[in-house]
Amino acid sequence: MQVRVLGCSGGIGARARTTSFLVDHDILLDAGTGVEDLSVEELAAIDHVFLTHSHLDHIAALPLLVDSVGGLRSRPLVVHALPETILALKTHIFNWVIWPDFTEIPHYERPWMVFEPIGIDSTVELAGRWVRSLPANHTVPALGFHIFNERAALVFSGDTGPNDEFWRIVNSVENLRYLIIETAFPNRDQDLAVTSRHLYPIQLGQELEKLKREPQVLVTHLKPSDRKVIERELDAWAGRFAPRVLERGDVFEL
């Protein structure tokens, strides 16, 4: 199983793309602006999208993805998300005002997209690969994901603040090879980070003290305007795991 980083930035700008990961050729974790760099053929090959939550930087490309390749596909794109996330998408995006409702196009019996509700600790098996939903602590209902096969596992925190339940589950994961965890703000903006339920470098270091496994730790979702500051602070505060900042285009094998 291969995981390709399409986008891992907390904003946009030259070469900055928001959160999305392509698992093999057919599964997306989040649908941020990184999806837009895929070819039409690559877009048409995506069968499943797993969403952490409803915020724009994680769903921005989904409406255009469905519109661009729905007619090329023989079956609908399946979007897996919390019921609250699905309701937000139906209410605010696929509402015939911002964008058409592709659960009804071209016909409600033959839609280009379907929603599949999942809860915390749901597991979906897709041809020898498993996607398990994990708890996240964010300003809207949100998830992280545990992606694994018979050989290895990767955990993605999604957008989250401190979360003891997340670490309890992560510490039970066998063969954990990679942990992708967010740190959105520099230390000077810790009040904003707390309010918006994101991590900052001092807090990341505190959270990583709860980790009992030995994965490679990769940091995502840095605000582009403060990236260099956050990188320096990660070096100073992130502890023994020496996390590396994730880069668009990184590829991980499981």
Give pLDDT tens digits for 49-73. 999 999 999 999 999 999 999 999 9
Structural domains of the chain ordered from first start: 2-253 (3.60.15.10)
Judge whether 49 and 77 are in contact, CB under 8 Å.
yes
- The stretch 138-144 carries a mean pLDDT of 98
Confidence of residue 239 (pLDDT cuts 50, 70, 90): confident
The average confidence (pLDDT) of the chain is 97
| pLDDT of 136 above 90 | yes
pLDDT one-digit tens code per residue, 73-98: 999 999 999 999 999 999 999 999 99
For the segment 22-35, what is each residue's pLDDT rounded down to a tens digit? Answer: 999 999 999 999 99
User: Taking the C-alpha atoms of 134, 113, 72 and 44 in order, what is their torsion angle to the nearest 10 degrees?
Assistant: -10
Q: Can you read off the two tokens belonging to residue 242?
A: 């020496």
Closest CA to 77 of 54, 43, 41, 33: 43
Would the pTM count as exceeding 0.85?
yes
**Residue 133 CA: distances (Å) to CA of 122, 144, 156, 186, 206:** 5, 6, 10, 28, 23
Note whether 231 and 224 are within 8 A (CB).
no
The residues pairing with 20 across neighbouring beta strands, listed in sequence order, are 7
Q: CA–CA separation, 186 vs 241, rounded Å?
A: 19
Determine the average pLDDT of the residues in 164-180. 97
Contact 163, 195 (CB under 8 A): no
